[in-house]
Structure 1
C-alpha cells in the first residue's frame, strides 16, 4: 500500500491510499477531501481517485467533494447517514462494509466529536477523521463524554499495528498537553522527540499506530494510575469512574494553552 497525507488548509490532511502493486487498476481511496485542489494536484501527478470516504459533516472534511464529483461524475462516495452531507453518497453505518474492487473497509460508528461520525478500518489502516488524534482526541461538539470514550475504546481495541490516519496535524500540540498529564511516560517522551524531529524536517507526524496511541495518548489511558492521579489533582478529588476521568481530561484539554 502507498499512503499519502495531502496537506489542506492550515493543518488538515486528506488521505490518499493506493495499492502500490497495481495503482492503475485499483485506483486510490480518498478520505475527507476538505479541499479539492490537493487531490487535483495529486491527480495531475498520476493519482487516480476511485472511491471517496467521508467520516463526518464538517466543511474542512467534505468541502472539496462536490468539485471532485464535477471532475469525476461517477466517483462513488460513502458517508454517514447525515443530512448535513448534501452530496450524492451511499450512506453507511456501524457494521457495514464498503466494497469497491479489491478495497474492503469496515465501518465503525464513533460518535462524540459529532453524533454521526464514522471511521473506516481496512487493509491495516484506520481513517478516523476527528475522533482519535495522535496523542489526543476530538472536541465534543455534539456527543457526550460517555459516547466519545466508548468510541475511543473501540478504536483502541484494533490491532496494535493498525495505522492511525486522522484528520489533522495536531501531534505536537497534543504532546504538550499529554506531557502535563503523564510527564514521566517514556513512550510519550520518545513520541514527542520523534514528532518534533519530523516537523523540523517538514514531514507529517502521521500515521501513528494504535500501539503508539495506547502507550502515550492520555485519552486512551484513563484507566492508568498516573492519568487518574493527574485528573484527581486537577479536580481536587478522585474521579468517580472512567467516564468522569475522561470528561475531566477533555475539559482540561479544552482550556489548555501550551
Structure 2
C-alpha cells in the first residue's frame, strides 16, 4: 500500500509559500494572500482526477478526528480554483458542508489567472492508484465506492451524513453473515453504510458490524447515510422484501 501524505496545519504555511512563489515566477507578478471562508459551490478543480485511497483517509479523519485543514485557492472573478485541497473539498462537498476555509491567492487586477476549463468538483473521476491493504481504510474506501455506484445507477448526486441510528430500525439487505466475520471484529471502528427509506435504514455495507453491535449489547450504531439530491426508489428495498428481510433478526449466522 502506498504512503498517503495529508496536509497538516503545520505544513500549510510552507505549502502556501511554495505555490505562491511558483505562480509568481510563472506570471512575473506579486501575489497577495488572504484568509476567508468560501462557499463550497464556488470551488472548481485544477486537477483531472481524485484518488480513492486518499478520499477514504480524509473521510475517516474528518469523521473520527475532526480533521480540518484550509484549502488553497486562486480567485478569478467570483470563482475560486483549488490549487491545493481537492480531496478535502470533495469530501466536504459530499458531507453537505456549505463553507470551507481557504487561503486565497490574489492576482493583481490587471493580470488574469489562466484557469482550466470549468468543471464540477463532484464529477471528477476517481481512480485507484494502488491496492488498499489496510482493512480499516479498505472499509472506508467501500463507502466511496458505493457512493459512486449509487450515483451511477440512479443518475443523481448522493451525499453523506453521519448519524447514530437505532439497531431496531435497521433492515438488512443480505440474508447471511459468517460467524467468523463477526468474531473478527474487535472494535466498531468504521460506520455502517445505509440508505433511509421511510423510517427504516437499509444496510449497504456493514452487516457484520451491525450484528457485532447487537452482540455487544448496543441499542444503536454509528452510520453514514447516503442521501440523494432528489427522490429515489431504491431497488435494494424491493430486494430485501423479496428475501423476507425485515430486521437483523432475519440474518442467518453461518459457520
Pairwise same-fold verdict (TM > 0.5)? no
Q: Which has the higher strand share?
A: 2
> Given the two structures, how large is their TM-score scaled by the length of structure 2?
0.29
Q: TM-score, normalised by structure 1?
A: 0.29
* Greater RCO (Cα-Cα under 8 Å, separation 6 or more): 2
